[in-house]
């Protein structure tokens, strides 16, 4: 993790590597990073539900939606994430080692969003141009959406692979839990605004929504890349001469990341914690419509979820700094598992679904906030992005499997969406078992107070 201590002769200053902040400098840094988080959150929280609504209007199956919206991003993250992360860790340039990898994806992300906004019109145009060779207007629209979605996701994977690395490199470690509490609060405010004011209009105005997200993301991330400054870094470790090729580099990556039992358990725990909510998140909007809650009701439930999580964000961030993210993660994932298994057995109407969905969001939000800094606490500092990408590699596999398998199961069983709660609860139980095993490993590595990354 980053070297970060309060300076003994300057109690109002904090150090992170070569960077030193006073109160004002720290506030400015947090402001710019939180602006980037706002744009990132709008992209992450808004694009998927609007894309799901659009695809349902185009009569796409649950399996197709899960494959394109769920598995495709995961597959791209699995292929591209490690490459980008390692390159970022080893890059030394005028603008730092993270900023260039955040700046370059901005234009294709904006282009992909604008392309999705034009899906009906472009699909119809392609159908007319192909004439008798056209597979049909709907298929042309789905093909165009898939193409622009792929462009959007390739660029998003590049940015997502290094955004956490930037935070690790510029935010003092003693404040990282509370920073992620603010990070979570900003994300929730974005979610509250979108779900309460915009989501209910997605069926009629998806074009304007996609275009608006493109404008917000483009403007905000250009400002972040312009205003945030990285410190100086020690030169990267020289690579052995025999490890210059791609195959040798891949073997080195796998050996460094996956040869120690502690890291394998940590990656599995973090992966399961991320993907356990996927069944409910992927199909919750359809479940809401099935039980009669409707799209507006679903948006209201999201807004309540975000409001509750907003109140809890800073206290949970403080708990992570005070008691360690590992402890907070274990307690919250156990609570989530129990809530979801109970919901899968008892939910039968719109009101019960609304309560269960709010519990899903609030308890999983506690887990995500409480464990947001887990990598900063436990990964090697010099190779943070590399190890973070290794976790995302497993998460990508999880997302690739969970969403399509859940979609295929729902298609085969007549879309009984209460199965999504049961699936999320079962995955959370597996995650809890990994955390229990990690506690034993932590004791061998110095415990919570003397931990040394292996």
DSSP per-residue codes, 377-441? HHS-GGGHHHHHHHHHHHHHHHHHHHHHHHHHHHHHTT--TTHHHHHHHHHHHHHHHHHHHHHHH
Q: Is the dihedral of CA 22, 23, 25, 29 positive or negative?
A: positive
Query: Domains of the chain, with CATH numbers?
Result: 27-231+246-444 (1.20.1250.20)
Give pLDDT, residue 57: 86
Closest CA to 144 of 54, 78, 61: 54
Give pLDDT, residue 219: 94
Q: Which residue has the higher pLDDT, 440 or 11?
A: 440
Residue 2 has pLDDT above 50, yes or no: no
Give pLDDT, residue 332: 95
Least confident of 118-127, 228-237, 328-337, 424-433: 228-237
Give pLDDT, residue 1: 44
Radius of gyration of the chain (CA): 22
pLDDT category at 242 given cuts 50, 70, 90 is low
**Mean pLDDT of the 61-65 span:** 79
**Mean pLDDT of the 333-343 span:** 94
Give pLDDT, residue 173: 76
Give pLDDT, residue 83: 82
The pLDDT mean for the chain works out to 84
H helix intervals, 105-175: 106-117, 119-130, 137-170
Rounded-to-integer distance, Cα 434 and Cα 439, Å: 9
pLDDT category at 245 given cuts 50, 70, 90 is low
**Mean pLDDT of the 173-183 span:** 81
Rounded-to-integer distance, Cα 200 and Cα 298, Å: 8
**Mean pLDDT of the 291-318 span:** 82
Residue 230 has pLDDT above 50, yes or no: yes
Closest CA to 118 of 192, 208, 22: 208
Give this prediction's pTM.
Answer: 0.71
**Mean pLDDT of the 410-435 span:** 89
Q: Above pLDDT 90, what percent of the chain?
A: 25
Give pLDDT, residue 11: 58
User: Torsions phi, psi of 40, nearest 5?
Assistant: -60, -40
Give pLDDT, residue 10: 47
Element (H, E) at 11: strand 10-16
Give pLDDT, residue 16: 81
Degrees (nearest 5) of the Cα angle 251, 253, 257? Answer: 120
Residue 195 has pLDDT above 80, yes or no: no
């Amino acid at each position: 993790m980053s070297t970060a201590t309060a300076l003994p002769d300057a109690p109002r200053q904090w150090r992170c590597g070569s960077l030193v902040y006073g109160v004002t400098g720290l506030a400015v840094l947090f402001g710019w990073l939180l602006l980037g988080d706002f744009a990132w959150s709008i992209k992450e929280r808004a694009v998927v539900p609007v894309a799901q609504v659009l695809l349902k209007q185009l009569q796409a199956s649950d399996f197709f939606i899960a494959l394109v919206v769920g598995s495709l991003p995961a597959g791209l993250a699995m292929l591209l994430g490690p490459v980008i992360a390692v390159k970022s860790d080893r890059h030394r340039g005028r603008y730092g080692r993270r900023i260039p990898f955040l700046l370059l994806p901005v234009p294709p992300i904006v282009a992909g969003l604008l392309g999705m906004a034009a899906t009906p019109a472009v699909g119809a145009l392609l159908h007319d141009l192909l004439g008798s060779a056209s597979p049909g207007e709907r298929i042309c629209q789905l093909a165009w959406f898939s193409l622009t979605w792929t462009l959007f996701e390739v660029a998003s994977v590049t940015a997502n692979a290094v955004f956490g690395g930037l935070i690790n490199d510029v935010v003092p470690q003693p404040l990282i839990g509370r920073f992620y509490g603010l990070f979570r609060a900003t994300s929730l405010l974005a979610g509250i605004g979108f779900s309460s004011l915009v989501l209910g209009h997605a069926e009629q105005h998806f074009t304007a929504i996609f275009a608006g997200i493109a404008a917000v993301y483009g403007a905000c991330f250009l400002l972040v890349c312009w205003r945030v400054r990285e410190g100086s870094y020690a030169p990267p470790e020289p690579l052995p001469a025999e490890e210059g090729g791609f195959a040798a580099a891949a073997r080195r990556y796998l050996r460094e990341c996956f040869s120690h039992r502690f890291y394998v358990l940590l990656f599995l725990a973090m992966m399961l914690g991320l993907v356990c909510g996927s069944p409910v998140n992927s199909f919750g909007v359809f479940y809401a419509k099935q039980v009669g809650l409707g799209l507006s009701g679903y948006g209201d439930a999201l807004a309540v979820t975000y409001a509750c999580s907003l109140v809890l964000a800073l206290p949970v961030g403080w708990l992570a700094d005070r008691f360690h993210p590992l402890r907070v993660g274990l307690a919250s994932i156990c609570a989530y598992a129990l809530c979801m298994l109970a919901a899968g057995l008892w939910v039968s109407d719109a009101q019960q679904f609304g309560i269960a969905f709010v519990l899903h969001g609030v308890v999983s939000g506690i887990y995500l906030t409480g464990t947001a800094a887990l990598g900063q606490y436990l990964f090697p500092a010099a190779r943070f992005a590399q190890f973070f990408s290794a976790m995302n590699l497993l998460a990508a596999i999880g997302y690739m499997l969970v969403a399509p398998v859940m979609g295929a199961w729902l298609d085969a069983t007549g879309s009984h969406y209460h199965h999504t709660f049961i699936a999320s609860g079962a995955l959370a139980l597996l995650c809890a078992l990994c955390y229990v095993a990690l506690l034993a490993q932590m004791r061998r590595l110095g415990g919570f107070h003397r931990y040394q990354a292996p």
